[in-house]
Chain A
Amino acid sequence: MSKPAKKASGEEAYADFMSRAYTMELEAIERYAQFADALDTHNNPEVAGLFRKLSAIESLHAKRILAEMRWPSLPALPAAYAWESVEGPETAPFDAVHYLMQPYHALEIALRCEQQARKYYEDIAAGSAPKRVKAAAKEMAAEEASHVALIQDWMKKVPQPAPGWDEDPDPPRMNE
């Protein structure tokens, strides 16, 4: 959840809320794309492809926010938003990946991100924000909840990793 901002008018608060939502999506897009590149480089095309797909899905959300706000792009370069943790609630931790990871692991990461995003919006919807912000937050919380359900279904369709999945008898000790 973001730190409380100064009192703003309903319109300002709504624009700020949407700007944060957009920034949150951008951070998630960027992190998934970064994971995809890293796993491509380390010859794990299956998981790289999955992260690329997740990045594309987040891009659609970001585009929808822009369209809704009729912004050609984010109105001003956002200062790094002060999230309650160091990054946005929908951003996966930078060190969550492993070169031998499997699709199930990637989906576990995505699930955690979607759950955090849902909680972020639920907290705003339950808080003391202006009506319009609360309504938008409620809508977005419902959307994130639907993503949680979709990912949970997706996880049922991919094999769970066997124990010792990260054991490599000949580990890469050189990164080139």
Chain B
Amino acid sequence: MNAPITSPALTAKDFKSDYKPVWCPGCGDYSVLTAVTKALAMLELRPENVAVVSGIGCSSRIPAYTTCYGFHGVHGRSLPAGTGLKVARPDLTVLVASGDGDGYSIGGNHFLHACRRNVDLTYIVMDNHVYGMTKGQPSPTTEPDWSSKLAPGGTGVREFHPLVIALASGANFIARAFSGDPNGVAALIVEAVRHPGFSFVEVLSPCVTFRPEQRGWKESARPAPVAYTDDPARAARRLMTDDGFNIGVLYKGRRAPFAGLPAAPTHSLADLEGGFRL
């Protein structure tokens, strides 16, 4: 009898494509790419069993830099594409990547409903509080007093709180990571993929070109002072009051993930046509 064919374990390198990223030198997204590839190796997955889906923006270039199946889609629509893919192909591990502009503004509505639907996928948002690719406009997570050439004096508009919104909308796993710690990001992605349902990992990923002051995030980011909770009310209090720099898993819910559509009735074409007969 032949011995079973076993595949050798893959390393992070096996998940990296030959394309060189076009991100600015020093961009936090490099570390996220490293973390994603490390996480996939740690999960002992194979590239052909993983799909990376994205929208538009600097961060959304990530599918091309992996050897997994990739879909670089329409602005703000990474979640609908990723959700559809996971429902159609539940055997695939689906990672959806986005940025704070793509994910919280253009795709903000999809974010709410993806949390609510709780399809078993992992949503990674690289948040740099700015639209980097289009020259530095304020994004939904930009601080109201951040002054720039494009928004002198700041927007004066309260920033969006993605983790609070995710919790209120039904996300089943909520974590915050910092790209200055790629091993930490990888560990959180592993946990997110393993947790059933919609897992949301917000990665603080500095934009050194338009927000050079974000280099200081490495001094602000620190492990969350308390372990995660599975109590949404407690999580809400914590998320509403944290300063945006607590790193780690912050909430793990117990909602059952979307279980798939009920089996479709098996009508033949003749049956369907028959329905129209007079």
Interface residues of A (CB under 8 A from B): 30, 34-35, 37-42, 77, 79-81, 86-87, 93-99, 101, 173-176
Contact indicator A98/B25 (Cβ below 8 Å): yes
Please tell me if B218 contacts chain A, counting CB pairs below 8 Å: yes
Chain A residues, CB < 8 A from B24: 38, 42, 99, 175
30 contacts between A and B (CB under 8 A): A30-B34, A37-B20, A38-B20, A38-B26, A41-B22, A42-B25, A77-B9, A77-B11, A80-B184, A81-B183, A86-B178, A86-B183, A86-B218, A87-B181, A87-B182, A87-B183, A94-B28, A94-B31, A94-B182, A95-B26, A95-B28, A95-B218, A96-B26, A97-B26, A98-B25, A99-B25, A173-B136, A175-B22, A175-B133, A175-B209
A42, A80, A94, A175: which contacts B186 (Cβ < 8 A)? A80
Chain B residues, CB < 8 A from A41: 20-22
Please tell me if B277 contacts chain A, counting CB pairs below 8 Å: no
Contact indicator A95/B23 (Cβ below 8 Å): no
Interface string of B28-41 (1 = CB under 8 A from A): 10110010001001
In the complex, which residue of chain A has the Cβ closest to the Cβ of B23?
A175
In the complex, which residue of chain A has the Cβ closest to the Cβ of B9?
A77
Chain A residues, CB < 8 A from B38: 80
B25, B179, B181, B182: which contacts A39 (Cβ < 8 A)? B25
Interface residues of B (CB under 8 A from A): 9, 11, 20-28, 30-31, 34, 38, 41-42, 58, 132-133, 135-136, 178-184, 186-187, 206, 208-209, 215, 218
A30, A80, A93, A97: which contacts B187 (Cβ < 8 A)? A80
Contact indicator A97/B25 (Cβ below 8 Å): yes
Knowing A30-B34, A80-B186, A80-B187, the reply to whether A176 touches B22 (Cβ < 8 A) is yes
- 9 tightest A-B CB contacts, nearest first: A80-B183, A86-B181, A97-B25, A38-B25, A95-B26, A37-B20, A94-B31, A173-B135, A97-B26
In Å, the complex CA distance between A174 and B22 comes to: 10
Contact indicator A94/B30 (Cβ below 8 Å): yes
- State the majority secondary structure of interface residues on A: loop
Chain B residues, CB < 8 A from A93: 180, 218
Question: For chains A and B in complex, what number of residue pairs have CB atoms within 8 angstroms?
Answer: 79
Tell me, rounded to whole Å, the shortest Cβ–Cβ distance linking B216 to chain A.
10
In Å, the complex CA distance between A174 and B206 comes to: 16
B21, B41, B182, B209: which contacts A37 (Cβ < 8 A)? B21
Contact indicator B215/A95 (Cβ below 8 Å): yes
Knowing A173-B135, A175-B133, the reply to whether A35 touches B183 (Cβ < 8 A) is no
Tell me, rounded to whole Å, the shortest Cβ–Cβ distance linking B121 to chain A.
23
In Å, the complex CA distance between A40 and B25 comes to: 10
Extra inter-chain contacts (8) besides given A77-B11, A77-B42, CB under 8 Å = A34-B30, A37-B20, A37-B21, A38-B25, A77-B41, A80-B186, A94-B26, A99-B24
Contact indicator B28/A34 (Cβ below 8 Å): no
Chain B residues, CB < 8 A from A175: 22-24, 58, 132-133, 209
In Å, the complex CA distance between A101 and B24 comes to: 13
- Residue among A35, A97, A101 with most chain B CB within 10 A: A97
In Å, the complex CA distance between A95 and B22 comes to: 15
Contact indicator B26/A98 (Cβ below 8 Å): yes
In the complex, which residue of chain B has the Cβ closest to the Cβ of A83?
B183
Chain B residues, CB < 8 A from A30: 34
Contact indicator B184/A86 (Cβ below 8 Å): yes
In the complex, which residue of chain B has the Cβ closest to the Cβ of A40?
B20
In Å, the complex CA distance between A99 and B30 comes to: 15
Chain B residues, CB < 8 A from A81: 183
In Å, the complex CA distance between A176 and B25 comes to: 13
Tell me, rounded to whole Å, the shortest Cβ–Cβ distance linking A160 to chain B.
20
In Å, the complex CA distance between A175 and B26 comes to: 13
Contact indicator A94/B22 (Cβ below 8 Å): no
In Å, the complex CA distance between A175 and B182 comes to: 23
In Å, the complex CA distance between A45 and B183 comes to: 29
In the complex, which residue of chain B has the Cβ closest to the Cβ of A74?
B11
In Å, the complex CA distance between A34 and B25 comes to: 9
Chain A residues, CB < 8 A from B9: 77
In Å, the complex CA distance between A89 and B205 comes to: 21
